[in-house]
Each structure stands twice: as C-alpha cells, then as structure tokens.
Structure 1
Amino acid sequence: MRKTLTGLIAAAMTAALGTFALHAEPLAYPQKVVTLVTHSSPGGGSDVFLRELSKYLGKYIAATFVVENVQGGSGAKAVARVAAAPADGSVFYATTPTYIYTSLLSKPSATYKDLEPLVNMFADSEVIYTRADGPYKTLKDVIDKAKSERGRWGASNPASLERQAAEQLKRAAGVNAAIVTHEGGGDMMLNVLNGTLDIGIGEIQELRSQIEAGKVRLLATFNPQRIPEKPDVPTVKESGYDVSLVKFRGLAGPKGLPDDVTKVWDTAVKAVLEDPEYKKRYTEEVLVANFIPHAEYPAFITNFADTTEAFLKETGAVK
C-alpha cells in the first residue's frame, strides 16, 4: 500500500510539473526576432522542419521566429549568411549533414567550422520513393532497371546525405545510375512525379502530403531498422544492399554564442520536444527526438565530419 501511495504521489507530481512546464511563461530572450535560415527550397526537408518548429517555439522563448530560405551552392550561401551574422542569438542555421558535405566537397567561403553548433533536435529517416503509378514496385525493380538501362535517381543537392546515400547504394548494388541533384527536395519530388526520375531520396516530412494523396510509393528506408510508423517499408539492407544512414537535424549559430542564449535554447528545446501538440506533429513526420545539448553538440558534429571525411577519402571524392 505504501509503495502504491508513493507511486501515485510521484505520478501526480510529475503530471503537475509537466502541466506547469506547458503553461509557464516563455523564457526571457535578448532578441525580439530570431531568423532561422535554411539552404532548402520551400517545401524541402529543412524548410518544413523550421516552419513547423517555429509554430511552437514562441511558447517557450519570448521571441518571434521567422524562416529565411537562402539557396545556392549546396548550402554554402546559407552557411556564409549565418557565419557573418552577429553572435547575439538573432540568427541560426538548420544543421543537417549537407553543411558538412558541402564544406568537405568544395571550397566555400565559410564552412561548418565557422558555425557554432547550438543544439540537436532530431534523427530523420531517409527514404527511397517513386511515383505510385510508375513501374517500380520494389527497390529490386529499380536496381534491375539501372543494370539494364542505367536509370536516373534524384538527390536534393550535390553535397547532401541523400546524394551520398545514392552513391553508396550504387556502389553496393554494382550499378551506374545517373544521380541528378537539385537545390531542394520539393523540386526533386516534381521530377519523380512526372517520371523524369526513377526514384528520389528524401525525408518523409517533405513527402507526407503526396503519400497521403496516394501519389508516392515508398520503396525502402536507409534506417538501420524499419520505421515504426511505416512497418511495411523494408530497409535498404533488408533489400539486399548493405547501406544504413540516419540524418541529424539541429541548429547552429555564429561563433561565440553567449551563455544566456545557449542556456535558453537548451531549456526550451527540451520543453518543445515534450510539447504534446508538437510531439504529435513531428511523430507524424517520422522524426525521432534526439536531443543533444549545446555542451555536447560540437563534439557530435566534429565526429560526424571526421567520419564523413574518411569515407569521402576512401571513395576518392576528396584527397
């Protein structure tokens, strides 16, 4: 009885604290307006991520959030825009593996090393998709086409995890499909739907409306395991090709972010990830919460960059 009573009290206190957190005043912040920059075109993965996130951040941080699309150079222009901004908490960049790949595969004016990782929020599933009324029912169908007629595969931009996923799949399957790159996932999806591309590689969040409309068929995921919300979609590895990748999503700012900014974001991001409304939304988008605080995020990014550079050197992409 005593254990039961203790458990009930603990549960009640947890619920009370949760209710308090949801209804507490937004945290004071040194900026009234915060610009969230992405290299994605409207409708692309990072664009969708930021626009959805911005609907909820105001409940936890006392500021207005706006999204700015800075396209060009496979993310190089967006990184340069943020690197040159004041380190006062007014401008941040949506981090994905793209800003690592762009830094390693080209010589941009600013690289990932010129930004300060702020916080990570999600792990994102990469999927292979095709038009629902097309000839491809399985990933094997796509590979067979690539063996006989080469084929055309889409990736969001030249220096993206999607592009590297396509290259790794080509290598694992022993085919030489043409990889057609775009400045954003929205543009690529149009070319999949009109039949210009056999497949595209992207995130479910940018495909959701087309999936619900029955316009797109998911063929496989690069996740190590099947996506819980899409249990019928096999992994690439299950399909016979030894490739597994997961995308990270977070934020970075100019170098030298002050403590009063980073502490607010650490607290607010933990809270927003537990927000019931936002949690419902990002779960529908098949995003998995993966909170990495400011103190740990730089090491995570450095490790990812080092691992990526080693792979690119092994494959001859960089020297």
Structure 2
Amino acid sequence: MINSIWKMAGVALALSVAAPATAQQYPVDTVTLITHSSPGGGSDVFLRELSGYLAPILGVNVVVENVRGGSGAAAMADIAQAPADGSRFYATTPTFIYTSLLSSPEYVYSDLEPLVNFFIDPEVIYTVADSPYQTLGDVIDAAREGRGVWGAANPASLERQALEQLKAAAGVEAGIVSHEGGGDLMINVLNGTLQIGVGEVQELQGQLEAGEIRLLATFSGQRLDLFPDLPTVQEEGYDVVVRKFRGLAGPQGLSDDVIAAWESAVQQVLALPEYRAVYEPNNLRAEYMSHADYGVFIADFANETETFLRETGVIE
C-alpha cells in the first residue's frame, strides 16, 4: 500500500449545476478528477479548464485534486482502490505507462480502466529567450562538444523518453535532468541551468506570452497551426515523433451507464465553441476516443513503449 500520498484539493472550479432536462441522472453528485502533476502542470491546467465546461453537461459538481508522488504511482493507487461508481477518475497521460514499466508500483496502468480520450497534446522543445541556442541544431552541436544539459518534468514521462530518443537519433550524449513537475523544470530553464526543456504548449503559454522563452522545435508529426514557422524534430533531421494523449481512467468495473454518460459528455464538451476557444489556442488537438477504442489504444501504446525500453536496454 502506498501511504505517502498527499493531496491538494483544488476546488476552485468545483461547480454545482443542474443537469439538462434531457440528460440521464448521473449516479453521484460530485465527480473528482485527480492528477499526479503539481499545480500549474499540464494535467492540472487541463483538468481545471475542462471542469467548468464539463460540470453542466454531466450535471454534477466537478472537483480537481492533486495526488502527487512517485510520478503517478500515488494517483494510480488512489484510483485502483476507489469505488467504481463514477465518482473518481485519473487524468491519464503517457506518464502512467512509463511509471508502471520503469518502476515497481503496487498498482500499475493495467489495474485501471481506460475511460475516454480527449486530446492529443503537442510536445515542444523550448529554451530561455536570451539563450545562445537559436535552433535545435545548435543544441545538438553543444551536446557533441560535451555541453549538453537537457530537462524533462518527470523521471517516468514521455518527455524524458522523447529526449532519450533524440539523443539516440542524433548520436550525442547529454545529461537529462528530471523534475517532479513542469514548474521546477521551467525555473531551471529560465535560470540557465538547463539548455532546453520539453513540455506542452498549454503549460508554457504564460512564459511564451511574456517573452521569457522561445520554442525550438516540436516533436509532433506535423507543424503546429499556431506556430507555422516552428520546425518539427523530423524536419531538423532526427526521426523522433511522440504522441501525448490526454484522457481519463477509472477503477475497474465501471458500469455501462457511467461509460455511456462520459462518452456523450466528452463529445459534447469538445464541440462547445466556448471551450474550443480555450483549448485550440493552446494547440490541444481534440481526438475523442470511445471507451472501447481508448482501451485498445492504451494497450497498444504500452506494448510499443515496453518494446522500445527493452530494445534500448532501459529495462530487461
């Protein structure tokens, strides 16, 4: 049993709204969405922005809660032991797959039931605004000279593995410093301790608008609509593409009624013009997956990830 769980109840966006007359009554009055990330991290921002639009569609209170520890291990333990009554869900990203494969938590991704997917979230490489590195090529050149110090948020994260893949593709050695959250990573990029960091546009928005950081490349398969001049890592000559999903998982044994309610609600919320006006400027790409499709997607992603980690000698 993981006992070192501490929680920060983020109730700022907990809303109580009557369900639409045509909606079927949801089985509980309050839904808690938990994240392993720290306040201000990618998943935390995602859930807090989502909550206000989701609450009236589901007809429930929506509360956001931070359950930190073990790069998602504490959050997985929380959800795996929660009642399967539709009251508690975990914001899933590739981190919960990596944590399951790279460490030995008591509960792993397969102990949870994938519910639905909302978004695919582009990962970008960034540096401090006054950095001498103008391109990704400059960063790679520095690494070839033994001056590579890069940063990722969590030890078991897609961002960390993206940088490991970039090292392998470029044939360089660079120190990769992991952090417990995107906020700590940002501090070390801004103060020059790290040459680059990796994160989602959504969580970098404030620093981008303030002109504190510059983007160097995106790990997406194609250029981003809001940053058409930003090259992909592939265009820079390194065959690395990563796909960060953002969805939800619950305890095993969710009822058909709960699943159907979420499948309907997610499609409705993603189509709301007012919510689109929030997520599209953050370069979040809506990619709804049903309960059945998301389960297959998670299984495939986990198998592909495990294969990569074994082939690269990270795990045996």
Normalised TM-score (structure 1): 0.91
AA matched with 2:32 = T
- Counterpart of 1:74 (choices 54, 71, 77) is 71
**After superposition, where does 1:170-319 map in structure 2 within 5 Å?**
170-319=167-316
Distance in 1, matches of 2:255 and 2:154, equals 33
Q: Report deviation, 1:260.
A: 1.3
Q: Report deviation, 1:229.
A: 1.2
Over residues 42-96 of structure 1, what are the superposed CA-to-partner deviations in whole Å (9 max), with x where a residue is unaligned?
1111111111111110121011111111111111111111111111111000011
**After superposition, where does 1:53-92 map in structure 2 within 5 Å?**
53-92=50-89
**After superposition, where does 1:61-210 map in structure 2 within 5 Å?**
61-210=58-207
Native 8 Å contact 1:27 1:62 kept in 2: no
Native 8 Å contact 2:146 2:173 kept in 1: no
Over residues 193-226 of structure 1, what are the superposed CA-to-partner deviations in whole Å (9 max), with x where a residue is unaligned?
1111110001000000110111110000000111
AA matched with 2:244 = K
25 and 43 in structure 1: CA distance in 2 versus 1, 3 angstrom threshold? farther
Native 8 Å contact 1:25 1:59 kept in 2: no
Instruction: Report how many residues are paired.
Output: 297
- Aligned CA RMSD, in angstroms, stands at 1.1
- Structure having the higher helix fraction is 1
Distance in 2, matches of 1:61 and 1:297, equals 20
Distance in 2, matches of 1:303 and 1:27, equals 33
AA matched with 1:136 = Y
171 and 34 in structure 1: CA distance in 2 versus 1, 3 angstrom threshold? same
Equivalent pairs: percent with the same residue?
64
> SS where residue 243 of structure 1 aligns?
coil
Q: Report deviation, 1:268.
A: 0.3
AA matched with 2:224 = I
Q: Report deviation, 1:27.
A: 4.7
Over residues 176-196 of structure 1, what are the superposed CA-to-partner deviations in whole Å (9 max), with x where a residue is unaligned?
111111111121111111111
> SS where residue 214 of structure 2 aligns?
strand
User: Where does the alignment leave 5 or more consecutive residues of structure 2 unmatched?
Assistant: 1-19
Distance in 1, matches of 2:196 and 2:278, equals 26
64 and 89 in structure 1: CA distance in 2 versus 1, 3 angstrom threshold? same
Distance in 2, matches of 1:267 and 1:173, equals 44
> SS where residue 239 of structure 1 aligns?
coil
Distance in 1, matches of 2:277 and 2:183, equals 23
The reply to whether residue 48 of structure 1 matches residue 45 of structure 2 is yes
User: Where does the alignment leave 5 or more consecutive residues of structure 1 unmatched?
Assistant: 1-22
> SS where residue 229 of structure 1 aligns?
coil
Distance in 2, matches of 1:113 and 1:310, equals 17
Distance in 2, matches of 1:33 and 1:88, equals 11
Q: Report deviation, 1:154.
A: 0.7
Distance in 2, matches of 1:292 and 1:280, equals 21
